[in-house]
Chains A and B, each alone.
Chain A
């Protein structure tokens, strides 16, 4: 349950409805703030948590994702004006990943749109932006409410995740296709009279689901999942392990890989969806939407830089590395925004913003990496190749019905 034990000026971060469960299982007491909540960074040991995503099943507390209910006669028209993607194609019971821009075609944020009913949608994003959503709603007949605190959310991800949900008693879960959502009655043993919404979505690039529920059902659902997953090696994970998986999947993160075009202070630090490699989400033919004119122009002219995937020699993650065209490091052509060693691919991978023309797959770049040799720091210029994203995309993420492991 949500308890407001301390006022916000003493304890600025809220606790999610899963907080007590998470605290009990946390071994290293590593919590971080996320969108106003305190959340787990690491439970015990990052690599173990990571491998649970790729090998078994994981629970990840998604409650801090900012959720807006958008409901009304004009909801579709509104979303189509707001978003770059054609939301008209989104059927009831389906989910779409999309981005939205300002007039200058600069990315504001990305998120998932759930179509819950004829006129009812839910938008899930990383950052609060009610002011932008309301400003954009001028002249549309609809209602926008933030429902973050009213909805607890849990990601169940990994090759055995379907099996876990079946064990828990969500009959028919195996029929749920990627980007579909469905409502299930919770088995009476968990909570009487309660429904849970499940979408086949996630941030791991693997087989997985996201569960949306009332806060009062949260602990019971957590317990039921841990029980149902006992023989599927389920374990809770923190943000650190998830971050490794999302880089492998090639997903971008706000404030890591880009800063919202509505938040930047310096001209030139904004990013367009095309630059972020999200051009496939931009439908220039669907009619007018915010930023369309600027994006048309950018498409005509071609982007000046682009987010690319990198494969870097050596095994030292290239966090924040500067990228050069030459080994001598005379000509900077970009920088790394996300980097990790990929334990599954056994590659040293990264996402980076790189100037044209170095964005072509196969281009060779040099990454400036600092190595800590027992506190004696050395600089290394690591040979780097631009490669296709995602770095890891297992078949099972799409398979319907999914296998048990």
Chain B
């Protein structure tokens, strides 16, 4: 094991986000000497648990887990390093008129629940699930594969394109049409094909716009719905859960697995520049001025940061740089982490309903969601924001002192740039107040229970986590930026236009979320280039 300093490493990974760590694990397991460099004094990127208030652990950014590929969890033995993912049951949208819609795990409870709003929708829901599952079955095998380049004639690309083509044809004629439509249509149009009840549509539409600078009526949002549905917990497709100890448990387990394979991590070591000599990446310079050399450099940062901030444009093809500039990576989300003195009361949620332990929402129509997006377009945070709110401390006993609760509130929409000036402390507070007021409308005792709140705007996310504009997926998940077009057409195979340099962050296929697939695929590409089987 080489511990930093003078020796030349086989690989340096810039960024200890979960994808950087996944790539690091696979490389170290293949016998490479790997060093991970992290800017922050802690690791994890957007998958992190921090204690900012006495006795409370927050999942500061990401807060629920489903997408993390089971193959990765097994191969890297993450359970052996303390990772435990516990599914939660259902969720609930509270309505402005005091009503609610909950989603239950039990099939019959769910049918009866939806039937309270529309009997027909209760049965259409089966068709909706079927179609989501059909799309999942299509996309699943593509997640842990390097996307083929359709313009290339390399045998591997042709082989992979044939695979993609065959896989597509296996869907059958009708479903091929469905898939193409699905990948390009709006979530609102998609849901209209199944449901008549506004509340059912509103509840489901939430995951089509999370982290996305689009409204439910924008084309492309149906896919985002799938992106949130294609994960699974123990084979239950679409199920979400909590990582015990917060989402930082994912990156802590990865770090432990990596170190057990002989890798080393340096936190508090921001990379200022990736060194390129003779057209080949050869190491990095830290902000401290320290130079570290490596045969391979892998960036976990989003493509904008990677190529515009820590690389010299002169080292890159000109067209590539302008494509990177055009990469859509708009911030649209905020986050509140709240320490509560007790469990708040939500009168709309019936007593004894398990939905209180799931994801809670207050947006009860597509219209309301679209209006929330309108605010974003105008350069202000939504006055009636979409929130995805959970209290994992009801399930995970490690997060808070007994009887207290941690509430994670994901907020959509919040702009990176405000129309009326820069983000500052007062505006951050005002944003936080909007969110807290929104919740308080549905919970009379909520405000009195607040002990501490961490408020994060897209500007904070950019500055703390390093996500450009605070885009949670390291780039929008629209069809023009997916598969072989992600992040940049012609560069979907994790290789940067500079030899010896690779990308492994969520900017690459198959995209954002705590999934690990970009990191695993990048490691596969590297090992293939090194002539080592993966």
Contact = CB atoms under 8 A, between A and B. Distances in A.
Q: Do A and B bind each other?
A: yes
Interface of A: 7-10, 12-14, 33, 36, 104, 128-132, 134, 146, 262-267
Contact of B126 (A9, A12, A263): A263
Given A7-B352, A8-B113, A36-B111, A263 B106 contact: no
B267 interface: no
B212 interface: no
Given A10-B352, A131-B124, A263 B130 contact: yes
Contacts, number: 61
B484 interface: no
A265 B133 contact: yes
Interface in B120-161: 120, 122-124, 126-127, 130, 133-134, 137
Nearest to A6: B352
Nearest to B352: A10
Contact of A36 (B108, B172, B352): B108
A8 B172 contact: no
Contacts of A36: 108, 111-112
Contacts of A10: 352
Contacts of A13: 108
Contact of B104 (A9, A131, A146, A265): A9
Given A130-B120, A130-B123, A267-B170, A9 B137 contact: no
Contact of A7 (B107, B111, B127, B350): B350
B175 interface: yes
Contacts of A130: 119-120, 123
A164 B216 CA distance: 61
A177 to B, nearest CB: 35
B137 A128 contact: no
Nearest to B112: A8
Contacts of B174: 104
B130 A9 contact: no
B: interface residue count bin = 20 to 34
A262 B120 CA distance: 15
B123 A131 contact: yes
A8 B108 contact: yes
B109 interface: yes
Given A33-B108, A36-B108, A36-B111, A9 B355 contact: yes
Given A7-B352, A10-B352, A12-B112, A146 B119 contact: yes
The 3 residue pairs across chains A and B that have the minimum distance between CB atoms: A12-B109, A12-B108, A267-B172
A267 B355 CA distance: 35
Contacts of B123: 128-132
B487 to A, nearest CB: 31
A267 B175 contact: yes
Interface in B165-206: 170-172, 174-175
A265 B137 contact: yes
B353 interface: yes
B114 to A, nearest CB: 11
B102 A9 contact: yes
Nearest to B110: A12
Contacts of B82: none
Contacts of A134: 120
B4 interface: no
Interface in B482-523: none
23 contacts: A7-B350, A7-B352, A9-B106, A9-B352, A12-B104, A12-B106, A12-B107, A13-B108, A14-B108, A104-B174, A128-B122, A128-B123, A130-B119, A131-B120, A132-B123, A146-B119, A262-B127, A262-B130, A263-B130, A264-B130, A265-B137, A267-B170, A267-B175
Nearest to B171: A267
B359 to A, nearest CB: 16
B113 to A, nearest CB: 6
B379 interface: no
A7 B354 CA distance: 12
Given A8-B104, A9-B113, 16 more contacts: A7-B353, A8-B113, A9-B354, A12-B104, A12-B107, A14-B108, A104-B174, A128-B123, A129-B123, A130-B119, A131-B127, A134-B120, A265-B130, A265-B134, A267-B172, A267-B175
B117 to A, nearest CB: 13
Contacts of B175: 267
Contacts of B112: 8, 12, 36
Contacts of B355: 9
Nearest to A128: B123
A254 to B, nearest CB: 13
Contacts of A128: 111, 122-123
A7 to B, nearest CB: 6
Interface string B92-107: 0000000000101011
Nearest to B119: A130
A259 to B, nearest CB: 11
Contacts of B133: 265
Interface in B345-381: 350, 352-355
Contacts of A267: 170-172, 175
